[in-house]
Amino acid sequence: MKPTNVQPAKRRFVVATTALTLLAVAGGQSVLAEAEESRGAVVANDDLNILRERILKPLLEPVPEETVRTFMDALQSDGRWPDIDYKDHNTALWKAAYHLSNVTTLARALQSPESGLHGDESLRSAVLRSLDYWLSRDFQSSNWWWNKIGVPRNLLPTVLLIEHDLSAEQRSRASKILRRAGIGMTGQNLVWVAEITAGLGILENDPKLVATAYQRIANEIKISTREGIQPDFSFHQHGPCLYNHGYGAAFARDCSRIATQVTGTRFAFPSETIALLSSLILDGSQWMTRGSVTDFGGEGREITRKGQNAHYLSTAAQNMLLLPTGREMEFRDLEARAAGQPAPPLVGNRHFWRSDFMTHHRPGFYTSARMFSSRVANTDGAYNSEGLKSHHIADGCNLLLRSGLEYQDIFPVWDWQKIPGTTVEQRAELSGSPMRMGKTSFVGGVSDGEHGLAACDWERDGLSARKSWFFFDDAYACLGAGITCDSDGPVVTTLNQCNRVGDVWVAQDRRVRKLGSETNRLDAPGWIWHDEVGYVLLEPGSIHLHNGPQQGSWREINHRYSKEPVVRDVFSAWIDHGTRPQNVTYAYLVVPGLTTDALAQYVAHAPVTILSNAPTLQAVWHERLRTAGLAFYVAGKVEIRQGLTVAVNKPCLVLLTEAPEKLLLSVSNPMNKPVTVQLEVSRLVEGEQVAVLNDPQRSRITFLLPGGTDAGKSVSRAYAIR
């Protein structure tokens, strides 16, 4: 359904143009200029009326009459509600703001044509009395966000709904509060303040102010290397911090809604702006979800808020379907998928080189690798007493989603030093701010769009390691090498920590048995199975496994919530590297979507082989796919199979696939700098930048890896085998 009132505006434009032509013939250039100015004013005012109607339309949907009457009955004679703490000092969920939400609910019921209280005078009195209580006292929070964004955003709908009932004094006081949202800042904060400013312009019939505000929003929908949309369509806020599902969620939802409101008016967004917004949603954020579930690596501190999900993408897709994008089928699929409805699954691999993040989709599962570097922060700080234990959320976080319920509401009971995929020194407690920049630059990934390799030279507080993930069709391999720590806490690599679903089985000592609800140390297990996922050790070792209840509270991670204990059954598996490990390794394979019998068969004929797991080179070969992932931390050489070797002259990441009569190569520089890499392969190939070396027969291929905004991006080519 297209936004309303576009065509009437066009008809008025035709009438004005016809009148302008007649005036020009009759009165000359001065009359023409006056008519032009008059026509512009008419069109501008018409467009303001269109915007006002579109903004008000969803606000005029009916609200529950029972709720409205409850608010009216509780409202005191001075305009306050007795159950609201107007002296609250909580910076995240400021309770005083509930007052404005209540006022908006009353105003909606007053103005909604379908409301049983439409036009009711006692309700009108309640609206004005409660609004005046706030305006006359001008409550303010100790958190700047509420004063400049939260309060104006909550106030604006009410004053637009009842603007004709406002006294001059009320209008003046409301305008003063709305003006605190002065246009500035970046990313989603800019969108919020600019939209408030546009609303103020509509309220004051100021088309120039409205135009300025909407232009600033359109200008913010751009590729940036600061906050906002990144060149790889990840989204940053609070500095170089991945935030597609926090601030980026609001950005996608709000910008798509605003784009539909202004379409067909003089404030409409340009087509290239709509294309960029489409790419943020379709090529960025949706790749960080599985169905209606978000990857918590993209949520920042909002991982500790209840009820996080990807429904915002369904709303954004609905908005984008009202606009000409040329990507309607993709948006229809996303709309269904993000709402939890049947839709074709995403399949492929994406490396977000601006955010040290790789995502991997298959019909049966989703997984990712979340890292950080000297270029990218691990998370945002514990602002407003949220995200209090998120210290290790990017230390190689590797989640796995199949049903989407794996981590639902687990965070109050999580052991935050055993986040899936991470290698962490276990301490008595987490302390300090979670936010930090990394110390290393060799952090990144290489992808051919179907498969991928993520790798990092990782260091934190005296603990260092080389970590890598190799993402294939049916499984993925996780390697660690050079793990070294100079302090006394035990060092642990966590395979997974998720909600327990059903039984846990282990293959050990040539037999398969079910584990009870206790903590186990399993020496040299063949594999562990839980919730149709197999975990297979690729190197000799032992696994610790917790299989039972864990307790915590939401308040431990977010002070907006209560201290009430939360208990959940948790499956947790980890490798204990001991204290002060020196140059130790780990290697394991994760195989989703198999029964125990199928897993046993898979392990007996596993197609995955470790070629190297050393601090200089981590490499894996998948026999069935004929695909190798090679993480060269230094220049070097590796034999992939008999007769096939690859050598490079610079540190880099390489993905190689042997196809019939073709060699497919993808190369990247995880240090995100331009560099020329020469890759030698023991094959005679033809293609771009190839030099044939005949002693012995091999080919030298030159890759000019990009800098600038594409620094760290993969370069992929196909070569014919001679």
Name residue, tokens 């070097």: 636
Q: Comparing C-alpha atoms, which of 369, 326, 362 is closest to residue 345?
A: 362
Q: Comparing C-alpha atoms, which of 30, 108, 113 is closest to residue 71?
A: 108
pLDDT at 518: 76
Which residues lie across from 498 on neighbouring strands? Answer: 571
Distance in angstroms (rounded) separating the CA atoms of residues 35 and 461? 71
pLDDT tens digit sequence for 461-490 = 999 999 999 999 999 999 999 999 999 999
Would you kindly state where each structural domain of the chain is located, as residue ranges?
A: 354-371+389-607, 634-722
Q: How many helices (H) and strands (E) does the chain have?
A: 14, 34
444, 670 contact by CB (below 8 A): yes
Distance in angstroms (rounded) separating the CA atoms of residues 572 and 499? 9
Q: Span 418-423, mean pLDDT? A: 98
Q: 354-371+389-607 is classed in which CATH architecture? A: Distorted Sandwich (2.70)
pLDDT at 381: 84
Percentage of the chain beyond pLDDT 70 is: 94
268, 262 contact by CB (below 8 A): yes
Q: How many CA atoms lie within 13 A of 88 on its CB side?
A: 17
451 burial (CB, 10 Å; 0-12 / 13-18 / 19+) is buried
pLDDT at 43: 60
pLDDT at 42: 55
Q: What letter represents residue 462's amino acid? A: G
| Tokens matching residue 551 | 């307790």
Residue 416: pLDDT band (50, 70, 90) is very high
Residue 11: pLDDT band (50, 70, 90) is very low
Distance in angstroms (rounded) separating the CA atoms of residues 217 and 699? 51
661, 690 contact by CB (below 8 A): no
pLDDT at 13: 31
Distance in angstroms (rounded) separating the CA atoms of residues 256 and 271? 13
pLDDT tens digit sequence for 208-264 = 999 999 999 999 999 999 999 999 999 999 999 999 999 999 999 999 999 999 999
Residues 6+ apart with CB under 8 A from 40: none
Residues 6+ apart with CB under 8 A from 341: none
pLDDT exceeds cutoff 50 at 12 = no
Residue 15: pLDDT band (50, 70, 90) is very low
The CATH superfamily assigned to 634-722 is Polysaccharide lyase family 8-like, C-terminal (2.60.220.10)
Distance in angstroms (rounded) separating the CA atoms of residues 79 and 165? 16
pLDDT tens digit sequence for 59-104 = 999 999 999 999 999 999 999 999 999 999 988 889 999 999 999 9
Residue 40: pLDDT band (50, 70, 90) is low
What are the residue ranges of helices labelled H in 138-246?
Answer: 144-145, 151-161, 168-178, 187-203, 207-220
Q: Span 432-436, mean pLDDT? A: 92
524, 497 contact by CB (below 8 A): no
Residue 41: pLDDT band (50, 70, 90) is low
Q: Name the average pLDDT for the chain.
A: 93
pLDDT tens digit sequence for 679-696 = 999 999 999 999 999 877
Q: Span 283-295, mean pLDDT? A: 98
pLDDT tens digit sequence for 651-685 = 999 999 999 999 999 999 999 999 999 999 999 99
Phi, psi of 144, deg, nearest 5: -55, -30
Confidence (pTM): 0.91
| Tokens matching residue 549 | 């209840």
pLDDT at 25: 33
